[in-house]
Amino acid sequence: MPTLSLDRLQHIRSSLRSVLTWRIVVLAAIVLVVFTGGQRLLGSLFLSAGMVRQQIHEAVLRQTGLQFLVNGETSISFWPSPYITLKNVDVIRSDAANEQPVFHADAISGRFDVVSALTGSPQFGSITLTRPVFRVDRSAAGTYVWQAPVGAKSSGQTTLDDLHLGRITLVDGMLEFHQLNGFSATFRNVAGSLDFSTLSRTLSFDLSASASDRPLTLTGSLQSPEKLLSGDNSTLSVKLVSDDIDASFSGKANIGEQSFLSGTVDASASDLGAVASWVGLDYAVINKLTVVDLKATIVSEGLKFTLSDLKLQLPAYQATGILSAGWTKRGEPPFFSGTLAFDNFDAGAFLTAFVPSAANLRDMPLKFDTSFLREFQVDLRLSATKASFGAMALADMAAGVRITDGHASFAIATGQVANGNVSAEISVDEDREKGPLCKLSALGRNVDLSAIPAMLGLSGPWPQATGSFELDLRSRLPLSPMGHAETSGSIRVHGGAGKLSGFDPAVFRELASQKRFFDLSLASASPLRFDSFELAAVIDNGIAELNTASFSSTSGNLDFAGVIPYKNNSIAVSGTLGPPSGVDAPATRFFAGGAWPNILISPFSAIISGQ
């Protein structure tokens, strides 16, 4: 019997626990329903659309000094949850008359908390802005209309720090930005969301829009957005993606009077010229330039941007260094300066981005656009482990680029070419009456001259020796690889011991004594070996006047002079081949003519005798 009583007692306890648990659940449900229903009941009894609208108006006015106006219908409902809709909304400056609103929306709708509204500080769970228009005007002093009135911060309250918003969804919006006497931009079809509880906490955003008929997306986050809007520093992470660019930034930002960016940037552009044109900067010199990747630490100061620890990847090259760009003052051409070190550098392609080039005279433009001389200023120092200029290969190049006041120059301070050292400068000066003046000067020391024909695309006899050269050319047209009639200047080449391939002195004398004329190629069995040589010519009107051409050789000194009309690839010179050292014999005099390299030799003896 005692055992039976114990079992019965445990059964009674179990039944009581079940009943109590069920009643607690029911009671909690009743309390929840009563609470939520009570909120709705309280809202329906004590809240009106006009009251909530007035609270929003007072909050906006208190925080920004701007007027919040609802020009259309305001509706409010509490079932199934508190929800308000305001139509035809404008936010305007309090002292503005007949001025476009700072903000307009066809409709603002969202969920809100009843209790917070009853206490006078409505908190929103989500807001939808239908066809909003944001007009952002930045004054010359870097201030905005939404910033707190003078003295607001001194009261110990930060602007925009108690506005509880939640998620904001934008539908078919527009953003207009205007900098007084400066940059302007319009973003259309703005859509997406902004997520944050208050403006003093982190904001995340995911937006899409179009600017200048190009779509773009913006994603990222902003810590303490109210600090940024109030002119203080804030931490920003943002990624921009559009047709021709993919860029991201992470760091500090300020949009106030002392606006700046400080952080890291990572970007790529399939067409840098198109990107520049997209933001209103049209520079033909960067058209079709592809930036595979750009990584750097960026710091901006006013209108100047500096990219340090720069790593630049182009399709065929990569570079490191530091680059600064910007404007010294508004309305003036932008400047670019810095130092870039390339692993490989195509100097020819770089120059033809500024000055056109052509492989033949027929395709050479009579005039070329020199607007780049006025569009920006450049002061760059370049270096490259390997560099090229057409077929010319350079090693360990150090160069500089300058564009200023109607003058542009690309100067190679030093570079290794064909086992020697070379320095050169190509420049363009603007002359609006006579046309641009192009100049090329070059100086080579201890260069293996046998490599020159392949670099210049020449064939025929050429000295193979270590020597030096000096070149000074001027032209009213772009300097082409082939030269043209508008080019003038001088050239001098000299060197030590070597050989002249394609000229056998013994065979040449024999042919000259036997034939009235012959092709120089017949006298090419063995080269002329010389101890030293010198060539000097003056170039003008498409003709090179050969003043000096002398080869000192024990096989007989070779001297000639005349003209080389290179514009039609011809030659007309007279020359003398002296006897070998120690041989008492008359010199062989001759005339050389024809089209290079097919040179026809006529001995003077045959010409004088009429043979």
pLDDT tens profile 245-288: 999 999 999 988 778 899 999 999 998 888 888 877 777 777 77
Q: What's the pLDDT score for residue 13?
A: 57
Q: What's the pLDDT score for residue 437?
A: 80
Q: What's the pLDDT score for residue 609?
A: 44
Mean pLDDT of 326-352: 86
Q: What's the CA gap between 529 and 464, in Å, rounded?
A: 9
SS3 of 405, please? Answer: coil
% of the chain with per-residue pLDDT over 90: 41
Confidence of residue 2 (pLDDT cuts 50, 70, 90): very low
Top-confidence range, 207-211, 315-319, 481-485? 207-211
Confidence of residue 446 (pLDDT cuts 50, 70, 90): very high
Query: Which region holds residue 192: left if phi is over 0, alpha if psi is between -120 and 50, else beta?
Result: left
Region of poorest pLDDT, from 94-108, 299-313, 473-487, 529-543: 473-487
State the DSSP string of 305-373. Answer: EEEEEEEEE-SS-EEEEEEEEE-SSTTSPPEEEEEEEEEEEEHHHHHHTTS---SSGGGS-SS---THH
**Long-range CB contact pairs, 520-527, < 8 A, 24+:** 520/461, 520/592, 520/599, 520/600, 520/601, 521/598, 521/599, 523/601, 524/461, 527/464, 527/499, 527/500, 527/501, 527/502, 527/503
What length is written for the chain? Answer: 611
What predicted TM-score, i.e. pTM, was given to this entire model? 0.77
Supply 45's token pair: 């009894």
- Judge contact between 26 and 18, C-beta under 8 A: no
Q: Is the pLDDT of residue 420 over 60?
A: yes
Q: What's the pLDDT score for residue 44?
A: 47
List Cβ neighbours of 368 (8 Å cut-off, separation of 6 or more). 355, 356, 436, 477, 478
- Judge contact between 323 and 307, C-beta under 8 A: yes
Mean pLDDT of 576-591: 92
Which tops the pLDDT comparison, 17 or 440? 440
SS3 of 589, please? Answer: strand
Task: Quick: pLDDT tens for 428-437.
Answer: 887 767 767 8
Amino acid, single-letter form, for residue 587:
A
List Cβ neighbours of 392 (8 Å cut-off, separation of 6 or more). 417, 455
Which tops the pLDDT comparison, 472 or 183? 472
- Judge contact between 252 and 262, C-beta under 8 A: yes
- Judge contact between 580 and 555, C-beta under 8 A: yes
Mean pLDDT of 552-565: 93
% of the chain with per-residue pLDDT over 70: 78
Task: Quick: pLDDT tens for 462-515.
Answer: 899 999 999 998 887 666 544 556 688 999 999 999 999 889 999 999 999 999
SS (H, E, C) 149-209: CCCCHHHCCCCCCCCEEEEEEEEEEEEEEEECCCCEEEEEEEEEEEEEEECCCCEEEEEEE
Q: What's the pLDDT score for residue 141?
A: 75
Q: Is the pLDDT of residue 39 over 70?
A: no
Mean confidence (pLDDT) of the chain:
81
Mean pLDDT of 147-171: 57
Q: Is the pLDDT of residue 367 over 50?
A: yes
Top-confidence range, 16-30, 73-87, 144-158, 415-429? 415-429
Top-confidence range, 34-38, 153-157, 603-607? 603-607
Supply 506's token pair: 């013994």
Mean pLDDT of 308-328: 91
Which tops the pLDDT comparison, 574 or 351? 574
Rg (CA), the chain: 41
Q: What's the pLDDT score for residue 119?
A: 57
Q: What's the CA gap between 487 and 322, in Å, rounded?
A: 37
Which tops the pLDDT comparison, 357 or 188? 188
Which tops the pLDDT comparison, 338 or 436? 338
Q: What's the pLDDT score for residue 375?
A: 81
User: C-alpha angle with apex 537: 407 to 413, nearest 5 degrees?
Assistant: 40
Q: Is the pLDDT of residue 129 over 90?
A: yes
Q: What's the pLDDT score for residue 520?
A: 92
Q: What does the domain layout of the chain look like in residue ranges?
A: 48-147+161-418, 487-609
Q: Is the pLDDT of residue 217 over 60?
A: yes
Q: What's the pLDDT score for residue 366?
A: 53
Region of poorest pLDDT, from 6-10, 61-65, 121-125, 274-278: 6-10
Q: Is the pLDDT of residue 43 over 90?
A: no
Confidence of residue 358 (pLDDT cuts 50, 70, 90): very low
